[in-house]
């Protein structure tokens, strides 16, 4: 089963060819550089950029895979959650391709994509499939969800952020420290030279599995203002202290979820899962195997949509009628 998959929910235009939900045949991702100037994503600009990029990137994905459109078995695209204009561009483009080539179209939940990124491999040697049930932490620019995956496509929400997403907190602190957008990778880089114990920062105490990051963000803002007034902001120390605070909270709740449910594995997904400090914090708290996609499969890409689409098709056995939903939840 060979699927051509399209991801346009936010600011990455991704198209991939994926076999049997696991093997990446090609995976082209174009990040929209336009947003670096504005320091954040402007939805209309993002939608227009997807429209402009999609044809070329789709062609590239097919070329790299060495296949023509009629040689694939289905076309998939993200239908939510995400920016509605962006979702519409990718979903309509995918539906158009499917219609023209007489192929089934599969609408995919972006969050399922982040989960199923853990099933992907490149090259000739398949990685072992992650074992379920699993506890899954999805941490991205828009989401911080702790989920129990009871089986394929069977998800039970455990907790989520009540305010900012983890990636959003990284991005806001990154901007505050003058590190540009997106803030996550930049904070991780400069934090390597910083002291994570330099500044005490709050860890919000909430119900077992929910997160809150807006208090932490405000505390960093206040700290930076105080340091500025003193004349110098030790950026590496602030970044390291912030990263320590946020990764500890994420890790503690993930580890608690793993301890309190009978699961085989802990899976991570979403852009923030690329963060090595987060992985280390989680790994040292759990006895389970920890699975994390390689960094370029943690951030948004088409391959993860191709992986999730395979399991949708296997599950439903037919094409899935879809309309775009910006606030789509994990089933």
The contact set with ligand KG4 (CB under 6 A) reads: 10, 140-142, 167, 170-171, 182-185, 188, 270-272, 274-275, 299-300
- Residue pair 101/133 in contact (Cβ under 8 Å)? The answer is no
Chain-centre distance for alpha carbon 92: 22
Helix (H) or strand (E) holding 265: strand 265-269
Task: Tell me 117's DSSP state.
Answer: G
109 binds Zn ion (CB under 5 A): no
Q: How far is the CB of 109 from Zn ion (least distance, A)?
A: 11
For Zn ion, the binding residues in 121-150 under the rule CB under 5 A are 140
Q: Which contacts (CB < 8 Å, 24+ apart) does range 149-155 have?
A: 149/115, 149/267, 152/311, 152/314, 152/315, 153/112, 153/311, 153/312, 153/315, 153/331, 154/331, 155/112, 155/115, 155/330, 155/331
Judged by beta carbon, residue 27 or residue 140, the one nearer Zn ion is 140
**Helix (H/G/I), strand (E/B), else coil: 235:** helix
Judged by beta carbon, residue 8 or residue 299, the one nearer ligand KG4 is 299
Dist CA 45 CA 38 (whole Å): 11
Q: How far is the CB of 323 from ligand KG4 (least distance, A)?
A: 20
Q: How far is the CB of 219 from Zn ion (least distance, A)?
A: 26
Task: Fill in the per-residue mask, 282 to 301: x = in contact with Zn ion (CB under 5 A), - = not in contact.
Answer: ------------------x-
Dist CA 92 CA 70 (whole Å): 18
Judged by beta carbon, residue 142 or residue 286, the one nearer ligand KG4 is 142
Judged by beta carbon, residue 74 or residue 136, the one nearer ligand KG4 is 136
Judged by beta carbon, residue 72 or residue 277, the one nearer ligand KG4 is 277
Binding site for Zn ion (CB under 5 A): 140, 300
């Amino acid at each position: 089963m060979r699927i051509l998959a399209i991801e346009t929910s936010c600011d990455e235009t991704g198209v991939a060819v994926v076999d049997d939900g696991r093997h990446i045949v090609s995976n082209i991702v174009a990040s929209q550089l336009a947003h670096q100037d504005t320091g954040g994503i402007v939805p209309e600009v993002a939608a227009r950029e997807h429209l402009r990029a999609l044809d070329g990137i789709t062609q590239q994905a097919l070329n790299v895979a060495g296949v023509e459109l009629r040689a694939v078995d289905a076309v998939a695209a993200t239908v939510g959650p995400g920016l509605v204009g962006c979702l519409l561009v990718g979903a309509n483009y995918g539906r158009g391709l499917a219609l023209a080539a007489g192929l089934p179209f599969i609408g995919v939940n972006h969050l399922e994509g982040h989960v199923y990124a853990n099933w992907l491999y490149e090259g000739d040697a398949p990685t072992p499939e992650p074992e379920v049930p699993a506890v899954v932490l999805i941490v991205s620019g828009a989401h911080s969800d702790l989920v129990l995956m009871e089986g394929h496509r069977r998800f039970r929400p455990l907790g989520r952020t009540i305010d900012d997403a983890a990636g959003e907190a990284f991005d806001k602190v990154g901007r505050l420290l003058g590190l540009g957008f997106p803030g996550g990778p930049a904070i991780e880089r400069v934090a390597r030279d910083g002291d994570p114990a330099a500044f005490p920062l709050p860890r919000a105490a909430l119900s077992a599995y929910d997160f809150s990051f807006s208090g932490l963000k405000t505390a960093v803002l206040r700290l930076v203002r105080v340091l500025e007034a003193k004349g110098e902001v030790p950026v590496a120390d602030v970044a390291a202290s912030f990263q320590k605070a946020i990764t500890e909270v994420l890790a503690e709740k993930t580890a608690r979820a793993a301890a309190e449910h009978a699961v085989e594995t802990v899976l991570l997904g979403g852009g923030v899962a690329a963060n090595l400090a987060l992985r280390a914090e989680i790994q040292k708290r759990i006895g389970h195997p920890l699975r994390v996609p390689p960094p370029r499969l943690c951030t948004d890409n088409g391959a993860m949509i191709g992986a999730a689409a395979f399991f949708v098709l296997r599950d439903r056995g037919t094409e899935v009628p879809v309309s775009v939903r910006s606030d789509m939840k994990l089933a």
